[in-house]
Structure 1
Amino acid sequence: MQLDRELYQDLMKETDEELAILEGNQAVNKQIYTDLTSDFVIQSEKFLKDDLIMIRKHPRYIDFPRHSHDYIEMNYVFHGSFQQQVADKKINLKQGDILLLNQYIDHELSACGKEDIVINFIIHPAFFDYILSNLSTGFIQSQMLQFLMSSMFSYNQTAQFLFYPVAESERVQDIMDQLLKEMMEDSILSKSKIKFLMGLLILELVEQTNQFEQDPSQTNHQSFLTEVFRYIEDNYQDANLNALANKLNQTAYWVSKQVKAITKQNFKDLVQEKRLLVAKNLLMYSDLSMQAIAEEVGYENISYFYRLFKQKYGKTPKAYKKQLMEE
């Protein structure tokens, strides 16, 4: 893809940190990155403040020592190349490549030369909840996306990384160019634009993940879940585990155990999620009574329906409807 020359010229300019290195400071200034005095753990509070995401250029001209961080990091090679060791694996990134690093994983970085421009994205784990709540629509899409994203990152202290050789993907590179322009512009709307562009990028990488060679067990899980979610989508009013098991030619016990192992939710929870989503849409876009809506989504007991709806959305269906009408 054609390099944006104006953006390139802007990113080639030395930062204050790089100027200090060029003036003879041969050690990374750890005070920029952490208040801890023992292990070198880069702290998100040093950069994020009250934001969920922050973008900065990686300092050139110096080896960056072994460290970890309490946030999710993404490295993007805008120009040149980038070498680092993640855990015990050496990784060479070329122009256009992306590397996603989970929290707590150790890595050390070789010095970048003048022409090696690498961008670091500092991402709070809560940003992924933001993506799921704002950029996924419909039950199958949101449930499948949640599974794929949890496959990308388990939100615990298990070290993981994902390497995306996406230099040839025009869609990914176009999103990256837009992100970097917003970073440099820093207008009043830039932070909001960056959030949505990052959301689009993550969705694009989820799709790219499916195109790469995968662990066969992950592929099987995706196929199984697609069947489960499609069944719930079509039969949510009276969906039951035995009917699904018969459809899959499996025992109800096996299907139940698989659903729980993969999604961390019970089959009943998934059905309930779909029913309440439909109920919310009916409240928004129909004039049906509360009793009719409860029955439409599969609940004969309206008191039970009210209780579940309030647990999910924080308001009773009537209060939710009233708020919509006032707005």
Structure 2
Amino acid sequence: MSNTCFWSIIFTGGFFMNTRVLNILKNITSLELQQKKSHKFCEDLPSKAINANLSKQANTRVLNNFFFRNRDIYISKHNRFADYPNHTHTFLEMNYMLHGSATEIVDGKELILNAGDLLLLDIGSKHAIKALGEDDILINILFREQTISINFLSDLMRNNSVLYDFLLSHTVSNTSSQKDFLLFPKKHGSEIKETIEHIIDEYFLKRDFSNSIIKSYLSILLTQLVREYPLSNNKHSSKQQKLIIEILKTVSEKYKTITLQQLADHYSYSENYLSNLFKREAGKTFSEILTQERLIQAHNLISSTTMPVTIVMEQVGISNKTFFYKKYKQFYHSTPGKDRETLDI
């Protein structure tokens, strides 16, 4: 066995990550070198990545959607050798401990991450990270709730998982009472480690179709987390909540043509009653949820095919071009044209 292969096994626990990616991650960057000499935090972000107004209100750094200008998922290595200050963000974040260990303070609670551990952080979760040593490699995986479709969440619901509730709170509800993080400790024989490291490889190698492959891997990763860390906390869901889940699944399957009146007729309710019930249980109106699912499906087509936007609109059930562009920009903070520019074909 070559020294390179042996080092890869020691570093990753068995999965052969690309040697070039491993070298990139282990290499000490110029910013890390500054921090190693001073043991003080050096700013690693441009000013436009930090929301000044929200930071002032929250009395802490608030990182915004700057990271998603040309991609759906943003991945980086956490800079070593200095404490990272308390901060929060307007997106979901995963911290994966590739090697070594790290100490994080999340909403005042100290957490220790060891190699193979994964921490999922809520939107708005405040956290700081103690200085990492040279052998500590922490990977940040950032993604927005817009990348999670209702179809995907409905599938997770079948497992009655804690992760489903965590993600659902950002996709269809604003009334979550959950804690602001989920910690998934390493499991021996788990497929999760291999999936994450495939994501890391794809991101840093920048090969053709990498954005689409990473999005697919993220869905696989989230599903694997549900399978390996189930928690049946929905057994006592109310009749109304179960009805909303059924409606969400119908929306995910028939988003092109489904209407609230059709659903009301199917469940023998008046349209007005079902509309109010849906808003109360889901936190958004039926129209908002339907439009959201159509936009997610449209974005998938725009970012993975060369299909004209007018055809994409037709495929997802939106006929008003002005409405489509307005809602698309509100939801993705981008335009179909800009997202099409990043298509890897």
Distance 1:119 1:160, change over 3 A: same
Deviations 1:23-82 (CA, angstroms, capped at 9, x unpaired): x2332222525455754223442x433322211101112111111223322111111222
Tell me what 2:41 maps to.
Answer: 28
Tell me what 1:71 maps to.
Answer: 91
Alpha-carbon shift at residue 92 of structure 1 (Å)? 1.8
User: Match for 1:151 among 158, 164, 169?
Assistant: 169
- Is this contact kept in 2: 1:34–1:43, CA < 8 A? no
Matches of 1:21 and 1:72, distance apart in 2: 27
Q: Provide the aligned length of Structure 1 versus Structure 2.
A: 265
Does structure 1 residue 4 correspond to structure 2 residue 16?
Answer: yes
Does structure 1 residue 54 correspond to structure 2 residue 71?
Answer: no
Question: What is the TM-score normalised by the length of structure 1?
Answer: 0.61
User: Match for 2:231 among 212, 218, 240?
Assistant: 212
Does structure 1 residue 313 correspond to structure 2 residue 326?
Answer: no
- Is this contact kept in 2: 1:102–1:153, CA < 8 A? no
Tell me what 2:281 maps to.
Answer: 262
Tell me what 1:19 maps to.
Answer: 33
Tell me what 2:61 maps to.
Answer: 40
- Is this contact kept in 1: 2:169–2:175, CA < 8 A? no
Tell me what 1:324 maps to.
Answer: none
- Is this contact kept in 2: 1:256–1:266, CA < 8 A? yes
Matches of 1:310 and 1:152, distance apart in 2: 26
- Is this contact kept in 1: 2:172–2:284, CA < 8 A? no
- Is this contact kept in 2: 1:147–1:263, CA < 8 A? no
What secondary structure is seen at the aligned counterpart in 2 of 1:196? helix
What secondary structure is seen at the aligned counterpart in 2 of 1:74? strand
User: Match for 1:162 among 175, 182, 190?
Assistant: 182
Identity percentage of aligned residues:
22
Give the alignment's Cα RMSD to 1 decimal. Answer: 4.7
2:28 corresponds to which letter in structure 1? E
1:195 corresponds to which letter in structure 2? K
Structure 1: segments with no counterpart, 5+ residues:
247-251, 277-308, 317-327
What secondary structure is seen at the aligned counterpart in 1 of 2:193? helix
- Is this contact kept in 2: 1:259–1:266, CA < 8 A? yes
Tell me what 1:175 maps to.
Answer: 195
What secondary structure is seen at the aligned counterpart in 1 of 2:132? coil
1:204 corresponds to which letter in structure 2? Q
- Is this contact kept in 2: 1:153–1:160, CA < 8 A? no
Matches of 2:190 and 2:112, distance apart in 1: 21
User: Match for 2:140 among 100, 120, 125?
Assistant: 120
Question: What is the TM-score normalised by the length of structure 2?
Answer: 0.58
Structure 2: segments with no counterpart, 5+ residues:
1-12, 295-313, 322-345
Does structure 1 residue 194 correspond to structure 2 residue 214?
Answer: yes
Alpha-carbon shift at residue 181 of structure 1 (Å)? 0.9
Matches of 2:278 and 2:175, distance apart in 1: 24
Deviations 1:147-198 (CA, angstroms, capped at 9, x unpaired): 7532366776988222223534633222112111112212243233222222
Alpha-carbon shift at residue 143 of structure 1 (Å)? 9.1
1:263 corresponds to which letter in structure 2? A
Distance 1:18 1:144, change over 3 A: same
Matches of 2:280 and 2:156, distance apart in 1: 18
- Is this contact kept in 2: 1:75–1:118, CA < 8 A? yes
Matches of 1:229 and 1:42, distance apart in 2: 31
Matches of 1:53 and 1:231, distance apart in 2: 27
Tell me what 2:205 maps to.
Answer: 185
Larger RCO (CA within 8 A; separation ≥ 6):
2
1:162 corresponds to which letter in structure 2? L
- Is this contact kept in 1: 2:172–2:283, CA < 8 A? no
Alpha-carbon shift at residue 219 of structure 1 (Å)? 9.2
Matches of 2:93 and 2:172, distance apart in 1: 14
Matches of 1:144 and 1:266, distance apart in 2: 23
The 10-residue stretch of structure 1 (81-90 or 212-221) with the greater mean CA deviation from structure 2: 212-221
Alpha-carbon shift at residue 240 of structure 1 (Å)? 6.8
Tell me what 2:328 maps to.
Answer: none
What secondary structure is seen at the aligned counterpart in 1 of 2:199? helix
